[in-house]
Structure 1
Amino acid sequence: MFTSGHMTRDVEPEIYILVDHIPIHSAPCECGSCEQQFIRKELQNKTLYMYEAVVPAVDAKSLLSRYTTQINTDRAYLADRCDRFGDTILSRWRKKSYNKRETLILQADSTIEKEAWFRLRIDGVGMLWQDVRKQHRNQWLLPYMSTEIMKSNPSVLLGLIYNRVRYSPEEWAPFDSDLIREGFSSGQLGLEYCGHYGVLMHGVEYGKLVPWNKEAAERWDIIGYPRARLIVEAQALMFSRLRSIVDLILDRVNTLDSMRASDKWQQTMRAGSKQSGRVELWSDYINQPFSRPPQFDVDYYCSVAKARMQAAEDHLWLLQTDLSYTRRFIKLMAVGEAYTTGWKHELIAQDMHLCMEEYMLWQELNEAWSCVRDHYRRFRDNIYPGQPLPHRLEPNLALLELALLRNMEKRVRHLSAHVPQRPGFQHLYKITMNTDETGLSRGRIDRACQTPTNVLYYADPLDWIVGQLRCHPDEEHRFDHAELFARPEAHLAEANAEERGRFDETIYEKMSSFAALHEMLSAVRLHRPAFNFRDEKGLHDLLKLNSTAFTRRLVPDGAPIRAYPFPSKYLKIFDQTAPASGKKTEEWLERRTAERRALGTFWNQARETLRLELQSKLAIGERAPKPKTRPSEPVNHQASIVEPLTSKEVLKSQIPTTTRALDLVKKMYPITAGEATANVDWDLFVHSMADLNFNARNVGGSAVAFDHAASGRKIIFHRPHPVSKIDSVMLQSMGKRLSKHFGWNRDIFVEA
């Protein structure tokens, strides 16, 4: 077990001046939701956070009216151009070179930022906040619009146009509000005050100035004028830019022609977009500005939670049953300096304990999402903007948010301890190992050198990114996590082999889990109507009123956390036992038996340890006995037991498929020595799975979800890194997982 501090965002010490005797403009409400829509009173005596102007309501109404009129006009214009000339837009933009794309974008608006990642790198520029406000307002409003990003991948601009036209400003408002949070809360965007007024964010009167209403503001049906003005301004600026860009793309096209040609445009955009150099669809969360707006698709998130729970369960299953898989895991983990000490096998046993925790995390979240889904389906017809959430649904959303936050805190601790042990980062840290009074190996992790984070962004981007990802999602001075998850992908795409190797398979897998948690939290918090904000006392009261096995796990009891390490003696014996190899002789059988005996004993002891741990965590006070009103066993008890799927149940007859897909299946279920040692390129794997009716989409980090269209189920595999080759051990483990969940085997596929 390791303890480590985390690196937080630097806040410059000389960014403001205290000013006495200035008017303080009060917010109409100081609750947790409403204070995010105005400047807090205690900050307004600092020049950085002062309102730039106080505007009368009549002027605010006029400004908002101009913005909304421009938004609607430009959106209608773009919709017409895409409907009539979509195929031309698609073809021309794809054919342009990088340089020609950049020239066209800057011709449309010369103020568009050239370099990507404006919000991440602005801290290191060293500009005064006054200059940032004057020179970079548009960049804070639209940080995703840079020539570097839009020219590098044609799908970026095309996706931006398509999704902004297809979906209304109202549907984009929650995301756009979240996008300007950083500039709003840090004082980098100049704000105006208009008294106790809000702006309507839904319906036909979207963008209208209205009197303040506390209940509507807490639902984010209206937003306080200082923040709402920025949202509407950003949308107007974005549509203006897109209109100019589209006009330049369609230069010299006869726009009076009544012929329509947009079938290919519609077909291509609906199929989804991909990152440059990738074969799977990109993650909408990480590429949100260029995808459809965030939607609270409760069925989707239930399926993701279930797929991740099954992936974690399968990992544990393979660690207990597949000797080659377990040896691969040990070899993969034991590469850092900490593993060269006498604590090697104790550390690996702790890593296996973390695998168990990962499964329990997703089991808990699968339960939470399922509960929300049940309520959501029941009250679906009563959920719409302008009305309070059903009282039975609202607390379940709050509890889901709490579960996500509590599990994020655990992931932050794990990531903080894991990264410094990996070869690509261990030179940046000093690790001190010792043994506590219980015999548990503990380590303390300290930075070997302290580098200011604004300098670190340029000196070591990967170290900087990992440090910022460990910030709490409620920390005031934090970067946007979706942007932080996207940054390493872009950096590593241009990096050399050594730099790419620093982010090894284990780091990528942990980051993919972390990204999934953040995506879910974002979806919950962007739900409209929003649920009520609760402080710590409110959450505690809510947990008491909704006492279940799930909610009781969310209540911290204040007792010190006791560690229950897995005994490592037999894991060491297993690791030091020579693996059975060669012909299957009596000696081979003896070695294989010794391997299985050592690994089985380790897991038997681990399960006993886990029982003690669970008993200590789930112990609750005695309750009055409840009289039984049901039989001791449920009706049709035997029928409720879930049996593993068989090929006959899932796939009744042989399935014809392509040659490449059949070749993949043979390597997953080998019968020859050549097949048993074969590796497969990741891209070929994705294409072969597509031949077998699986659609692949990145879901954060290295995780790729393969959706099976026929069954509606999904399975998650991890893209190998830094080399995109699936080794034979992993490939065969994938085959075992597909057998378990989809009934696959070698014999059910035939060449078409």
Structure 2
Amino acid sequence: MARVNFDNVDYNDPTSFAQLFGPNSGLPIPTLQRPDDVRKEARERSQVIHDAYNTLNEIVTRHEETIQKRWLKKSRQQRLKILLQFWPGMSAIHRPDFDAFRKESKQQRGQGTKYRDNFMWPYINQEDLSKPRNLLLLLSARARHHPSHFAAADITAIRLGIVTSAVVPIFLNEYVMVLNGATDASTYGELISWDDHPDAFDWMHTRKQFLPGEGLFALEIQERILNFLLACSRAILQDIAAEKLTSDTYPAQPEPHLKTEAEANGFESLAVMAAETPYRLPARIDFRRMELLLEAKASAAKDHVLALREDPDYFADRIVDIREHRQEMLKDTSGNIHPSIRPGKDAIFGARVIGNLVVEAYLELEIFAELHRQAKELRLLHDKYATQLSPTEDLPGDLLDRVLTFRHYLRQAAKGPLGSLRHNVVSSPPMRKFFVRQPPLNATTSQIAITSRPGNKSTTVEGHLYWLLSTLWEEGDTLFLADMSLVLDELERLLQASPLAADLVSSRIAEMISTASITGRCLSQINQFQPWARGFESAEALRLHSIKQRFAGWSTPLAYMMQVLKDQNLVRIAALADTANKRFLYPTEKRRTKENVEVLRRAERNLDAFWHAVDGILDVGCQQFRGTAVRTLLSEKRALQRTPEWVDVDVDGSATRPKQQRNAASSGGVESLSKPLSSLHFSGVSAGQAKVTTTAKTKTKTRGEPKEPSTQPLVAPEHVDTRAEPTPIPVDPRALKVFRTLFFNPGVTSSTGEVAWQDFVYAMTSTGLFSAEKLYGSAWQFQRLDTENQSRIQFHQPHPRGKIRFTMARTMGRRLTRAFGWVGAMFVARGNEDAA
């Protein structure tokens, strides 16, 4: 490759500058413009923008309530007629830039895209603006806030067009254009030479202000949007004479309330909130919301670890689910099964499955506990500086450092679920029909090659789904160009719109999408921290080495954990997790008998034996885990719920066992009903040696016909005062039925059954104690409304049927008990509170 002579490059000439990239780079050469031409265009556009903004502001402050009422009454076709009248050729579909990106090749875009409007105004489309709220949100935001508030967001919105060279800004070196903080027509869009202002170069370098080409794009975008909104407003108010629209005949009114998504549908939707974001005032980042989102995810990860150790049925379900998603389950091109799953040869496969189970659970807890910790510290630091932040000034150094560190950790955290998608999607049961496995080189290799099944033809929806999923896990140019948040938004939109696509996503894959979406949503929030977010890349470059060092130090225990839990170390305990021969059969829904109690206790013993063996493997290097979330959890003074021994009853109603044993079993003494959480050694003391002193109130009847004890927790939930009588929560019959399944008690409910997901959401919100929010994938979040900290809890919607099995309902009930101290007796039929 010939070396470039930098001495001969004229950096003010884009043709000369292009030599740095070589003649075959394929990069378009931008148009060079003179400063006077740029100033003239900027001045003209700025004047038009301010004229339109001022008029629109006068109209909206007087007539917004009327506009809202009239627009909401119109049918979709009536709305479209107005939209297309004032924006002819408006794109038909959501995110038309993404659609155009898929349609055109790099070469076609380089020669000049056919879809310039799609890339320049991606949020101006029929699908979104014909919905009831979006045009009204856009109108209110743009009319009530100066255009400078939107400049950074408007340029960020066309990122896909710029990075793919579909739209190419003009080139003018040694100048910067001022938009941020400029509030009048004379200064908004002002072009300043680096030589004419001491800060001009810094504004360009840190991206506090705009390159001239970017600035002209922002002005062009805003001019067309404001004129469009002005025309739509006049059309909606066509019965009012134009000269009277802004006259004193109609005085200014208070800003009207537009019904929220929760008010309209009973719950919030993260997908809807993301879709509405472009039409609102660019968010001043909500660090508190991000903190609570990560806190709820960390809590869910902790509950997952606890459930794996406590509930044999939950554990067995997870083992089977992981096994069914491993690539060894695919048949090869000759129709043969993988050597590692042949009878008698499956120990190594079993080791891989339990390795997945433990590593996934522990890593997710570590990652989200750390992200929550950082989000909390970031929120506190932002609160400290909130009143001092100015869009024309740098962020305080310590705040910028925390933001960039958090951003780096989020990116690293996203690699986990995206990598899991790579290894699980193709072998998931719904997707197996599209793929085959190449025969392995030998029976012991862990390397597996997957190819498309010959002759298989996928539908448009199937192909689009796989393209979106593979774009996420490949982490290549497409993901860089399109941005992870955009791909996740499109994936969620497809799954909501197409039952065919939803049916191809298993519950395990849906959970991975949900996890990736949480990190993606947080990254999206960080990137909305404008105008400073525009300079994060250059600021990070100066700190990247130290940030990476910190990350490496934090992740060292995790790397050790993954090394210890390699296949070869787990082969000897693989049989302990074998779900065959009903080792983990756990019929808690059945009436208690001597035989049934023994089945329950046997499953619990088998589960305890497995975790004792895992703890033994990790125990060798236990000091490596100092300060980790896993160590903190397993060190807690908490006990596992366990079934007490059966107490035989004589004909006269007296127990035949010794009094001490009888009292322990019948009174619910915790030492007879529970076991420590872990046998790992911390601080030189085995957790298995720690004595549990908590006492439970549950009492098992021993007189007459043996009755099944309540399936309420036999151990008091942490942070709950068991001496206080629980406050009754009155609910209607529909909700009561749900809670009786979650906290099943055979003395109250005679039979178990499935719970429809929508009934669960209804039950939670009908208490008046929670609001519901649909996240991405299968995740839902419930936020506590009656406490100051507004704590949250996340659950996964069963996929694809939307029915909660009894065993899952029981696990959800236990989580509610741990989190909020809820028990079944708290829920009473409305009107019977006094009798409770």
Range of TM-score over shorter length: 0.7 to 0.9
Change (3 A) 1:323 1:245: farther
Deviation for aligned residue 1:109? 1.0
8 A Cα contact 1:184 1:227, kept in partner: no
**Aligned residue for 1:666?**
740
How far apart in 2 are the matches of 1:688 and 1:262?
A: 39
**Helix, strand or coil: the match of 1:715?**
strand
1:39 and 1:98 mapped to 2: Cα distance? 50
Please name the residue that 1:15 is paired with: none
1:96-139 deviations in Å (ceiling 9; x for gaps): 33333323221121131123342333245357636984642221
Pick which of 113-122 and 160-169 moved more: 160-169
CA distance in 1, matches of 2:804, 2:168: 51
Greater gyration radius: 2
> How far is the alpha carbon of 1:308 from its aligned partner?
0.6
Give identity over the alignment, percent: 19
Q: Which residue of 2 aligns with 1:442?
A: 446
Shift of 1:24: 6.5
- CA gap of 1:114–1:580, structure 2 versus 1, over 3 A, is closer
Aligned to 2:814: 736
Per the alignment, do residues 227 and 683 of structure 1 end up closer, same or farther by CA in structure 2, a change over 3 Å counting?
A: same
Partner SS, residue 384 of structure 1: coil
Q: 2 CA distance for matches of 1:39 and 1:677? A: 73
Question: Structure 1: which 5+ residue stretches go unaligned?
Answer: 1-19, 29-34, 621-631, 633-640
CA change 1:572–1:114 in 2 (3 A) is same
2:522 aligns with one of 500, 520, 528: 520
Specify the alignment match of 2:576 in structure 1.
570
Cα 1:230–1:554 shift into 2, 3 Å:
farther
Question: Which digits, 9 at most, give the CA deviation of each residue in 1:55-76, with x for residues without a partner?
Answer: 2223222322333333344344
Match of 2:269 among 269, 278, 281: 281
Give runs of aligned pairs for residues 489-638 of structure 1, distance below 5 A. 489-496=492-499, 498-527=500-529, 528-529=531-532, 530-531=535-536, 533=538, 538-542=543-547, 552-553=553-554, 562=563, 564-565=565-566, 567-572=573-578, 576-577=582-583, 579-581=585-587, 582-611=590-619
Q: How big is the alpha-carbon RMSD for the aligned residues of Structure 1 and Structure 2?
A: 4.2
Contact map agreement 1:305 1:362 (CA 8 A) in 2: yes
**Which of 274, 278, 284 is the matching residue for 1:295?**
284
Residue 654 of structure 1: which of 721, 728, 737 is its match?
A: 728
Q: How do 1:306-705 and structure 2 match up within 5 A?
A: 306-336=295-325, 338-339=328-329, 341-342=341-342, 343=346, 345-353=350-358, 354-431=360-437, 442-448=446-452, 460-472=463-475, 478-496=481-499, 498-527=500-529, 528-529=531-532, 530-531=535-536, 533=538, 538-542=543-547, 552-553=553-554, 562=563, 564-565=565-566, 567-572=573-578, 576-577=582-583, 579-581=585-587, 582-611=590-619, 644-646=718-720, 653-672=727-746, 677-692=752-767, 693-705=769-781
Aligned position for 2:234: 247
Deviates more, 1:374-383 or 1:57-66: 374-383
CA distance in 1, matches of 2:252, 2:319: 57
Matched position secondary structure for 2:448? strand
Is the CA contact 2:718–2:818 (under 8 Å) kept in the aligned structure 1? yes
Contact 1:580–1:589 (8 Å) recurs in 2: no
- Whole-angstrom distance in 2 between the partners of 1:580 and 1:535: 52
Q: Is the Cα–Cα contact under 8 Å of residues 319 and 357 in structure 2 kept in the other structure? A: no
Match of 2:794 among 716, 730, 737: 716
Match of 1:144 in 2: 123
> Structure 1-normalised TM-score?
0.80
Question: 1:226-265 maps to which residues of 2 (within 5 A)?
Answer: 226-252=213-239, 256=244, 258=249
Which stretch of the first structure deviates more once superposed, 196-205 or 280-289? 280-289
What's the CA shift for 1:226?
1.9
Cα contact 1:429–1:448 (8 A) shared by 2: yes
3-state secondary structure, aligned to 1:553: helix
Structure 1 ranges of 4+ moved more than 6 A? 38-41, 260-263, 433-437, 455-459, 473-476, 555-561, 617-620, 647-652
Check if 1:225 corresponds to 2:225.
Answer: no
Could you say which structure has the greater relative contact order, defined with CA pairs below 8 angstroms and 6 or more residues apart?
A: 1
Equivalent AA in structure 1 for residue 256 of structure 2: Q
Stretch deviating more after TM superposition (507-516 or 641-650) = 641-650
How far residue 462 of structure 1 moved from its aligned partner, in angstroms, is 0.5
Tell me: CA distance 1:50–1:464, structure 2 relative to 1, closer, same or farther (3 Å). closer
Equivalent positions of 1:34-183 (< 5 A) are: 42-43=20-21, 49-126=27-104, 129=108, 133=112, 135-151=114-130, 153-183=131-161
Alpha carbons of 1:719 and 1:555: their partners in 2 closer, same or farther (altered >3 Å)?
same
Deviates further, 583-592 or 333-342: 333-342
| Cα separation, 1, equivalents of 2:210 and 2:409 | 27
Aligned residues of 2:462 and 2:501 also touching (Cα < 8 A):
no
Kept in 2: contact 1:667–1:678 (CA 8 A): yes
Residues 332 and 55 of structure 1, relative CA distance in 2, 3 Å threshold: same
After superposition, the Cα gap between the structure-2 partners of 1:515 and 1:653, relative to the gap in structure 1 and judged at 3 Å, is same
Shift of 1:741: 1.5
Greater shift, 65-74 or 459-468, is seen at 65-74
Cα pair 1:173 1:231 within 8 Å, conserved: yes
1:190 paired residue number: 168
- Judge conservation of contact 1:574–1:595 (CA < 8 Å) in 2: no
Report the CA distance shift for 1:684/1:588 in structure 2 as closer, same or farther (over 3 A).
closer
SS at match of 1:705: strand
Secondary structure of the 2:486 match is: helix
Alpha-carbon separation, structure 1, partners of 2:726 and 2:111: 65
Which residue of structure 1 aligns with residue 640 of structure 2?
none
* CA distance in structure 2 between the aligned counterparts of 1:404 and 1:42, rounded to whole angstroms: 34
Q: Any idea what the Cα deviations from partners look like across 1:267-304, whole Å, max 9, x if unmatched?
A: 234x34799x8843344335432455243222221211
Q: CA deviation at 1:310?
A: 0.4
Q: Secondary structure at the match of 2:284?
A: coil
Change (3 A) 1:558 1:687: closer
In the superposition, relative to structure 1, how do residues 664 and 307 fare at CA in structure 2: closer, same or farther (>3 Å)?
A: same
Whichever residue aligns with residue 417 of structure 1, its letter is H
> Which letter maps to 2:356?
D
Deviates more, 1:384-393 or 1:245-254: 245-254
Name the counterpart of 2:671: none
Do the aligned partners of 1:431 and 1:443 also contact (CA within 8 Å) in 2? Answer: no
Choose the corresponding residue for 1:268, options 258, 277, 286.
258
Task: Tell which deviates more after alignment, 642-651 or 320-329.
Answer: 642-651
TM-score by length of structure 2 reads 0.73
Would you say the 8 A contact 2:471–2:478 is kept in 1? no
Whole-Å Cα distance in 2 between the matches of residues 111 and 461 of structure 1?
Answer: 25
**Which position in structure 1 is the counterpart of 2:646?**
none
